[in-house]
Structure formats: C-alpha cells, structure tokens
A and B are shown apart, each in its own frame.
Chain A
Amino acid sequence: MALQVEDLRVHYRTMRGDVRALDGVSFGLEDGEIMGLAGESGCGKTTLGKSLIRLDGRMRHVGGTAVLDGEELPINDDKAMNARRFNDVSIIPQYSMSAMNPTRKIGKLTADLLRAKGKSYREVKPELVRRLELVGLSEKVLDNYPIELSGGMKQRMVMVLSTLLDPSLLIADEVTSALDVSNQKAVAETLVRFRDLGFVKSMIVVTHDLSLVYQIADTIMIMYAGQVVEKAPADTIIKSPSHPYTQALIGALPEVGLEYGDKRLKSIPGKPPQLLNPPTGCRFRARCPLAHDRCAEEPPAVQIADDHVASCWKVES
C-alpha cells in the first residue's frame, strides 16, 4: 500500500477558535491507484491535499498519521518534510498558471529547483526533454519565460516539473478547473499516462467535477464537512452510491442528454455545517432525507465490500 492515512486531524487557527477542516480522515491508497477526491467547497479536500505536502502558517496538525511507502510523513515538521517533498511527494498546485517564477527562464528555474534537491540539471536534462516531448512541448520552451507560454502549455510544463523526480505520490489540485473542455481532456489524459509510464506511483486528484474525475480515476473518495463519507471504485460511486450525500451529489449533476422539461434535477437543501463548532454525530444529518434519531451518534464506517466504505447508519454491510 502506497499511502495509509489514519485519523488525520488538521485545524485552522482563527481568532474565534479552531476550524476543524480535517476531522479524523482515514483512507488507504494502493500502488498505482488514481484516487479522485471530490466534495463541495469547504469540505476539506484541498486541506487534505496540502497536509500531505506542506502545512501553511495557519494550519495545525492536531493528530493522526500518514504513512507513505512504510515511512511516516513528518507532517508537523516543515524541515523534515522538505527532504520528502518533490522526491517522494509532489503537488500540481491549484493555480499552476502562476506557479512559475515570472522573472526566470523555465530552464533556469528548473535548474534551481533541482539544485535545491541536490540533483544535477545536466544529468536530468535528457529525461526532461523526453518528457516535454511526450506532452507536446519542444525543448525550446526551456529558453522561454513563463509569460511566453499559453495557459495550457504552462499547465503541462508544471505537470512535467512536478513529476520530474518520479515521486511516489502526486497531488493534483483542481488541475483542470481553469481550462476549457478540450484542454481539460488532454490534461486529464496526461495524468493517466504519467501513471502508466511510472512517473508517479499513485495520485490523488482533487476536484469538484465528478464527471471529469470519473473519466480518469480508479477510485473516488467523497468528503463532507472535514470527514470522509464514502470511498469506492469509480463505477460504484457513480452507478450505485451508498451514502445519501453521494446519492444527492450525483443526483444534482446535469448530463448531456437530460433536459429541463424531462426531469428536474434536485439540489441539496441547506448548507454544510460550520466547522468552527461542528455538530456531533453525522454531519450531513440536517440535510439528509433519511435522517433518524440514531444519526445524532457518530456514524460507523461500514465496510460494504472489500474496497467500498461508507460512513452512515443506514447502510448495511
């Protein structure tokens, strides 16, 4: 198993108290698995991605562990994490359009990056050029400034850079949100190709677009209000979800072929709870059509099949 996360808790420090952005998240990621991570804004999906690579100043690691390839990730220790970043864990950030230093040529910037990790640019360069060609960029881009590249090209450049040292885990945070349909498909398919070619071992694709992640992911994990509600193979999540939240989320997706006159899509009433003082028990219960008295207690993580877990009182294994 490539990654094993146990009961991870990460809070944001604010003036009014701790915001529990991740409140007991546990999951496993197999070697070669692409996991889609989806949920509404504020459910903690980006926080989870960030926690595995770098906590920013406001984030505090409260408890839980993440073990990558048998070695624990020192989430709390910024310095110790530095040795693992880029080598073992890498990220394609949400705004990769502006992820590159605008004042340096891309080749120079890459050299800086490699030097910081004790690698020689000259040795890595043939491999770099090979990978650039793989994503349809020529060697010449190394002599360009980031501003000279189009949005789609920058995105591909950052993808190549992030995976250059063959990390074990890659976190792709909303990599396709800023692109239009045809670029979206190209970028998503490149992610799969990187996995198939062994540039990265496993991948977490953070997105709010379920229909996109369904195209490329092996498994999908749904988060709600800082907790995992369901994780299963992509087909199971889309075709026969167990958790009422997953069902509602998929029921709210429009499809090509569906028209307003035929069938009204239904939204989920209400909004997610505040994470400053989250309610006890099931966090979805205020919006859940199936809620009953039992839901005031913390729901169990029910193992429905070997690879299918859902946290709800109403599902049966």
Chain B
Amino acid sequence: MLELENVWKSYRVGSLGSKRLTAVRDVSFTIAPGEVLSVVGESGSGKTTIGKMVLQLISVSKGTIRLNGQDITAARHAQRKEYYRRVQGVFQDPFSSYNPIFKADRVLETVRESFFPGTSRSEWGDKVERTLLSVGLDPTAVRGKYPHQLSGGQLQRMLIARALLLDIEVLVADEIISMLDASTRIDVLNLLGDLKERGLGVLFVTHDLSLANYISERVIIMRHGAVVEMGATGKVFGDPRHPYSRNLLASVPQLHRKWADAPDELEELEPDGDRELAPPALTQVDEDHWAAAGS
C-alpha cells in the first residue's frame, strides 16, 4: 500500500534558482494492491512530478510518502535500493529509454548485476524467459535484438518485464502508451489490467481520459498542481462535480458524439492564483468521490 500525505513540491527556476515554481500542492492519495489509480490533467498540472516523487527521482519538498507504513522520503541510499526492489517505473518514450548501442535485453541483465548478483546465469535465464512470456512477449523474438529492431510496444513491454523481475508492489506508468500506435497500445494497456489482477498497484499517469476510464478503478484529476476531483472512475467521469472536470470531459473527442452536435459551452474557471497557498480543500460529495470546493 502506497500512501502520499500532503505532498508538496517546489522547483527552483530562473537564473541561479531565483524563483520558485510550486508544481505539486498538498496532494494526498493511496494506492492499494491490485488497484490502478489514474492521474489525469493538462500539461503542467504536476502529474509527472508526482510520478517522479513516488520513484524518488526528485525529493519531496513537504509531506511524506509511505510504502506499507514506512516513510521512504527519509530513506538513505542503501534503503533506497531496497525500495526500488518494490517500486519501479516505466516512462513515455520507449525509444529513448534504451541505449541504442547495446542490445535491448541488456536492461534485463543489469537487473541481475545490481539486485541478484548471487543468481546463476541459467537460473536467471529461466526467470527472464518466464517474465517475458508473462508480458506477452516471445523470448526468441526479442532476446539478442537491438532496440531499433523491435517495435515500440515490444520495447515498452520489455521495460515492464524488467520491472517485474524485481518483486515489485507498485509500478509507476508515466504516459507509457501515448507514443504507441493504436493497434499495439491496447496490448500494453491490457497488460496493465493483467498486472492489477496479479495484485500489483499501478500509478497510471496520462492525459487521455478514455484510457484512464478503461483501465482504472479510481481517478485523480489535477489542475495547477492540486487535486480538483478524485474518486471512483465511474463516479468522477459519470457525474463530474468540478467545472474543470466537466470542461475536460466535454473536450475529449469521442466516437459516439460529435462536438458539433452538442455545442456545450465551456465554463469559466478560476485563473491560476498564488501557488504557495493551500489549494481549496476537498469535500466528500458521494461515497468514494471528493471534489475541491468552489464546484
């Protein structure tokens, strides 16, 4: 169980770090085992920053992140490595996640070198084979190949296999299918569904609402670094309470509805105010459904 409690993040920007940009403001949520939680929002809403903080690639400015009750923000290097056995990430661009001069399955071998130095080569080979099969890849088709010989979907699934070689509990998936073609992205998406049935918690960062709806049980909608609405997917998308959520849903292109048929006017939104201030508090509007005040 991964918990975020009142997490804030500010970056130093400008010349010599003279300005501060608050990217994430007072975000709290939990991910239970076997659950996919989607974080959606426009560019710059802080959704990727949350993913990076969970992966401890950047530090947390304020607040705590706990895994099974253990605070991981205070962890030192040695403990960090233990943390990475349990939490791993996959990112947007599968083509730049690999070093083009090495064979693609080297990413699997490096896991053995740093996490399982005692495992014998043949034992490891079996494990890799099983894991590749479990993500729907044919081991003979992908082993010993260079990244440019594989498709984006294959590369992305191999990165998920790499994460699965460790006994992870949480996977951070940051826009992992936005660069893939319509015909192959569904395989990767269904794989996430498969992982959740195996009891993994997935933090699924995306800007595509239809993907979030397809795969996740719960969803968080973010704007200007703060949560504007969160709750069960059906409730948030079926009955959006915050004006921003309604605007977002009205803008999504859908196949059963044309924009021209129902020209719904977008509602006025509050402009981006002082980001140092605490964002409007979330109030519970229904069972497992919270929305920010002002809605």
A254 & B189 in contact (Cβ 8 Å cutoff): yes
Is A185 in contact with chain B by the CB < 8 A criterion?
Answer: yes
A249 & B207 in contact (Cβ 8 Å cutoff): no
Report A268-285 CB contacts with B as 1/0, cut-off 8 Å: 100100000000000000
Which one of B151, B182, B247, B248 contacts A253 once the chains associate, using CB atoms below 8 Å? B182
A238 proximity list for chain B (CB < 8 A): 255
B233 proximity list for chain A (CB < 8 A): 259
B213 & A258 in contact (Cβ 8 Å cutoff): yes
Interface residues of A in 171-211 (CB under 8 A from B): 180-182, 184-185, 188-189, 208-211
Contacts known (A182-B248, A211-B254, A215-B258); A258 close to B214, Cβ less than 8 A? yes
B184 proximity list for chain A (CB < 8 A): 267-268, 271
Interface residues of B in 144-187 (CB under 8 A from A): 151, 181-187
Interface residues of A in 255-299 (CB under 8 A from B): 255-260, 264-268, 271
Interface residues of B in 241-286 (CB under 8 A from A): 247-249, 251-256, 258-260, 266
A267 & B183 in contact (Cβ 8 Å cutoff): yes
Nearest chain A residue, comparing its CB with the CB of B150: A271
B251 & A252 in contact (Cβ 8 Å cutoff): no
B260 & A215 in contact (Cβ 8 Å cutoff): yes
Which one of B151, B186, B190, B213 contacts A256 once the chains associate, using CB atoms below 8 Å? B213
B251 & A208 in contact (Cβ 8 Å cutoff): no
Is B111 in contact with chain A by the CB < 8 A criterion?
Answer: no
Is A1 in contact with chain B by the CB < 8 A criterion?
Answer: no
A80 proximity list for chain B (CB < 8 A): none
Using a Cβ–Cβ cut-off of 8 Å, how many residues does chain B contribute to the interface with A?
36
Min Cβ gap A57→B in Å is 22
Report A158-182 CB contacts with B as 1/0, cut-off 8 Å: 0000000000000000000000111
Is A212 in contact with chain B by the CB < 8 A criterion?
Answer: yes
A180 & B255 in contact (Cβ 8 Å cutoff): no
B253 & A211 in contact (Cβ 8 Å cutoff): yes
A214 and B261 CA atoms in complex are apart in Å by 12
Is A138 in contact with chain B by the CB < 8 A criterion?
Answer: no
Is A19 in contact with chain B by the CB < 8 A criterion?
Answer: no
A267 proximity list for chain B (CB < 8 A): 183-187, 190
Is B124 in contact with chain A by the CB < 8 A criterion?
Answer: no
A112 proximity list for chain B (CB < 8 A): none
Is B42 in contact with chain A by the CB < 8 A criterion?
Answer: yes
B210 & A255 in contact (Cβ 8 Å cutoff): yes
Report A87-118 CB contacts with B as 1/0, cut-off 8 Å: 00000000000000000000000000000000
Contacts known (A215-B259, A255-B256); A260 close to B42, Cβ less than 8 A? no
Nearest chain A residue, comparing its CB with the CB of B261: A215
Is A40 in contact with chain B by the CB < 8 A criterion?
Answer: yes
A211 and B183 CA atoms in complex are apart in Å by 14
Is B107 in contact with chain A by the CB < 8 A criterion?
Answer: no
Is A248 in contact with chain B by the CB < 8 A criterion?
Answer: yes
Contacts known (A181-B42, A260-B193); A254 close to B207, Cβ less than 8 A? no
Nearest chain A residue, comparing its CB with the CB of B151: A271
Is B209 in contact with chain A by the CB < 8 A criterion?
Answer: yes
A40 & B255 in contact (Cβ 8 Å cutoff): no
Which one of A181, A184, A252 contacts B182 once the chains associate, using CB atoms below 8 Å? A252
A238 and B257 CA atoms in complex are apart in Å by 11
Min Cβ gap B231→A in Å is 15
Is A41 in contact with chain B by the CB < 8 A criterion?
Answer: yes
B255 & A181 in contact (Cβ 8 Å cutoff): no
B213 & A259 in contact (Cβ 8 Å cutoff): yes
A220 and B184 CA atoms in complex are apart in Å by 21
A226 and B214 CA atoms in complex are apart in Å by 32
A268 and B151 CA atoms in complex are apart in Å by 13
A259 & B214 in contact (Cβ 8 Å cutoff): yes
B209 proximity list for chain A (CB < 8 A): 181, 256
Nearest chain B residue, comparing its CB with the CB of A260: B193
B189 proximity list for chain A (CB < 8 A): 254, 265
Min Cβ gap B236→A in Å is 11
B181 & A40 in contact (Cβ 8 Å cutoff): yes
A250 proximity list for chain B (CB < 8 A): 255
Which one of A209, A214, A264, A271 contacts B190 once the chains associate, using CB atoms below 8 Å? A264
A180 and B44 CA atoms in complex are apart in Å by 10
A257 and B233 CA atoms in complex are apart in Å by 10
Contacts known (A252-B182, A254-B210, A256-B213); A265 close to B190, Cβ less than 8 A? yes
Min Cβ gap B130→A in Å is 22
Identify 9 new A-B residue pairs, CB closer than 8 A, beyond the known A41-B181, A259-B214: A40-B183, A181-B42, A182-B251, A208-B181, A215-B259, A248-B183, A255-B210, A258-B214, A260-B190
Closest 5 CB pairs of A and B: A268-B183, A267-B186, A180-B42, A211-B253, A254-B214
Show 21 residue pairs from A and B whose CB-CB distance is below 8 angstroms, ordered by the A residue: A181-B42, A181-B248, A182-B266, A184-B253, A210-B255, A211-B210, A215-B258, A215-B259, A238-B255, A250-B255, A252-B183, A252-B185, A255-B213, A256-B209, A256-B210, A256-B254, A257-B256, A260-B190, A264-B193, A267-B186, A268-B184
The residues of B with any CB-CB pair to A shorter than 8 Å are 42-43, 151, 181-187, 189-190, 193, 207, 209-211, 213-215, 233-234, 237, 247-249, 251-256, 258-260, 266
